[in-house]
Structure 1
Amino acid sequence: MSWFVYIVECCDETLYCGITCDIARRLNEHNGTLSGGAKYTASRRPVRLVASAEVESRAEAARIEARIKKLPKRKKLNFIASLKQI
């Protein structure tokens, strides 16, 4: 099973990072078209996917997510830009 680390941009221009094995389903959950989602994004809809990266395992995805969540917004934006250049 593939795991992904993803970043969405909320309608208030904040960024949310998460992990999933199904990006399309998770994006639908964040936007309220399916039940679930995150408490953070529930009041900041709609959200749009700005970056994602496939990783080898859930553990690796969780480690990357934790590192990204600690970054200031400026560094998160730099990370997003670096993914888009690959």
Structure 2
Amino acid sequence: MEQNKKHYFYVLKCKDTTFYGGYTTDLVRRLDEHNSGKGAKYTRLAKRRPAKMIHHETFETKSDAMKAEYAFKQLTRKQKETYLNSFNK
């Protein structure tokens, strides 16, 4: 296993204004997958594409990145907006 591989939690803002949170090791590739309809089931719907990557965080381990993804997905829409806005200050 590659020791220096970076793990990312990311957030997309979809065309229908919903948020999608995910995990990847390659942000560019993953965004391309989502926008080509080959990403997550959620972003395969045409009404959600194109999506724009609006946030990402880097983690040392896959586990930590996936914990951040899970925590984000548990938030309400308002809480997600507050969380994302806290990085734009």
The residue type equivalent to 1:81 in the other structure is: N
The SS at the match of 1:12 is: coil
Equivalent positions of 1:75-86 (< 5 A) are: 75-85=79-89
Contact 1:9 1:47 in 2 (8 A): yes
List gaps (5 residues or longer) in structure 2.
Answer: none
Instruction: Name which one, 1 or 2, has greater alpha-carbon Rg.
Output: 2
User: Distance between the aligned counterparts of 1:49 and 1:4, measured in 2?
Assistant: 12
Alpha carbon RMSD of aligned pairs, Å? 1.1
Corresponding position: 1:36 with 2:38: yes
Give the deviation of 1:62 after TM superposition.
0.8
User: Distance between the aligned counterparts of 2:66 and 2:72, measured in 1?
Assistant: 10
Moved over 4 A (4+): none
Structure-2 residue corresponding to 1:16 = 20
The alignment's TM-score, normalised by the length of structure 1, stands at: 0.91
List gaps (5 residues or longer) in structure 1.
Answer: none
The alignment's TM-score, normalised by the length of structure 2, stands at: 0.88
